[in-house]
Structure formats: C-alpha cells, structure tokens
Amino acid sequence: MQEKTITKLFNKMLPGVKIETIKQIKHEDDEAYYQVWLINETYILKHGTPNEIDVYQKIKENVPQLYASLTYYRKIYILINYLPGHNLMQGKRTDLKLVLNALAKLQDRYWQTAEKIGENIEDSLISRLKRGEHLKNTPFYPTYQKFLACYQNVSCTFNHDDLLPFNVLISNNEAYFIDFEYGGILPYLVSFARLIAHTKPEKDYLFYLSREDKNWAIKYYYEILIAKHNISLEKYLKDLDLFIFFEYTEWIAIHYKYNMPKDERFNYYWAKALTLADKINSLQQ
C-alpha cells in the first residue's frame, strides 16, 4: 500500500496528528512484509478484523490501546498504540513468567463468563471439526475425536486463539497480547497449549524454550490459575496433552488438505503427534 493511502487512512483515524515517519513491519520468520505500518514510532496501522476490534474494545488490560478503526475498499484497518519491547521467541523464564501472570489474570477474570467477547466455542469448533476431516485417513483420527470431546466439555475463559510466541510482547516489564484475528471466550487451555507446543529446546530454533522452563511453565500455570478453579492436576495434565496434540496436528492436516510433499516439518509433527497420541490412548484405556 502506498504511503499516500496510509497517510489518508491515518488522517481519517487520527485527524490533526502529523505523520513524521512510516515504516512497514516484517514477518519474524521469513522477512516478508506484513500489512502493518509503524507511524511516528507511536502508532501501528494494520489490517484488522471485526473480532480483533471487539477484543480491543472490551479487554482494556494487557492488550494495545485501540484508537480507531475504519473500512476502506472492503478491508478493515485499525489504529493501535505501538508497544516497544521484545517478543517471546527466545523464551526466558523471566519473560515467560510475565506472560503467564498476564494470561492468568485475564483468564481468572473471565472464567466461565457469560460475556460475549470475540469468537465463542461454537465459532472456533467449526475450524476444529474441519481439521478432523483432513485427519480421517491417518492414525490420529481416534485421538482427535477425544480432543473434540474434551474441547466441548471443559471450562471456558478468555483466550488468544493464536498465541504463538511472536504474538506477545514484553514492554516495560509487562506482557501484552497482540494480533487478535482469532480469540475470545474459548476452552481454557487454548492459549497456553499453543504458546508452548511449538517451542524447541534448541537456541537457534524460531521458538526457543528450554525443557526445564517448559516443564516449569506447565506447573506454574496450574498453580496460579487452574488449581484455584478446582481442576485436579491429573485432569489438567490429561486435558493439556489433548490440546497440545491438537497443535501438533496442524501441519499434518495442512499436508493432507493441500496434498503437499512430506517435508522436515511434516515429519517432525507426525512423530510428535504419534508419540503423544500413544501416551493419551494408553492413559485413557
């Protein structure tokens, strides 16, 4: 998008503020450009969704401030505040603790709420059922049915539905959740499982987290949130296995959906899903 158009959108959203600088933001993983622009080192202008707007309007803590939104040529744009800081891609326990504290605070507030925020379990279930269709001819299908049953029968609370480590920022010793294209009142393990499932203990990996810190996070999250809602440690760990298994099936399902060649990533997740499925099935016999 040309700077002239960016300027036009910004002036409509925040009239009276002069643009000094515009910088387009790159993806963290492949250096391609997002449809996201940093303006005056203060504001972020980006493509948005109705879901994202709803979340930013209703959740006032640990998320960016929403200044304005508008529709331009059938695309939604939002203007939020820029948060200087770093993400969780190279996970450190001090940062991870800030993230889990922020997540637990939000989830405790909205535990089993009747308030409507973003997507709900019925919305999110559609995509999860579709994924199951792509797993029908794999050994994972029976375990996936166990996940779906669990997904529909656990407590719900506020979740970011794509909480990969680059969708959280540490700024001024506080954690902030960003990019809410998907999120709302969903089963309680949605955010946490996604946050830890795709990490590896190799420091040169995209999402690094040591085994020790991963195990610590699983215990700490239970202690600060789950235990106080009368969920046993045994049930929590069984549910968490199912939600992490779901995360492992993502690239497997994509492979079958698009008939893609089996690559290193497919083989990695196939092995992880197979090991975890065996564990789940042995524990539930």
User: Which tens digits make up the pLDDT trace of 97-124?
Assistant: 999 999 999 999 999 999 999 999 999 9
Share above pLDDT 90 across residues of the chain, in percent, rounded to a whole number: 93
* Token pair in block for residue 10: 């910004």
Pure H helices in the chain: 3-13, 50-58, 93-109, 121-134, 141-151, 190-197, 211-221, 233-258, 264-283
Mean of per-residue pLDDT scores for the chain: 95
Instruction: Kindly tell me if the per-residue pLDDT of 284 is higher than 90.
Output: no
Query: Which residues have a Cβ under 8 Å from the Cβ of 134 and sit 6 or more positions away?
Result: 252, 253, 254, 256, 257
Instruction: Kindly tell me if the per-residue pLDDT of 32 is higher than 70.
Output: yes
CATH of domain 86-283: 3.90.1200.10
Q: What is the pLDDT of residue 35?
A: 87
Closest CA to 75 of 15, 35, 123, 124: 35
- pLDDT bracket for residue 285 (50, 70, 90): low
Architecture field, domain 3-81: 2-Layer Sandwich (3.30)
Closest CA to 144 of 237, 231, 244: 244
Give the number of other CB atoms < 10 A from CB of residue 122: 8
User: Which tens digits make up the pLDDT trace of 151-210?
Assistant: 999 999 999 999 999 999 999 999 999 999 999 999 999 999 999 999 999 999 999 999
Instruction: Kindly tell me if the per-residue pLDDT of 68 is higher than 60.
Output: yes
Q: What is the mean pLDDT of residues 239-253?
A: 98
Which residue spans of the chain are classified as CATH 3.30.200.20? 3-81
Which residue spans of the chain are classified as CATH 3.90.1200.10? 86-283
Q: Tell if the pTM clears 0.75, that is, is over it.
A: yes
DSSP-derived 3-state class of residue 205? coil
Q: What is the pLDDT of residue 144?
A: 98
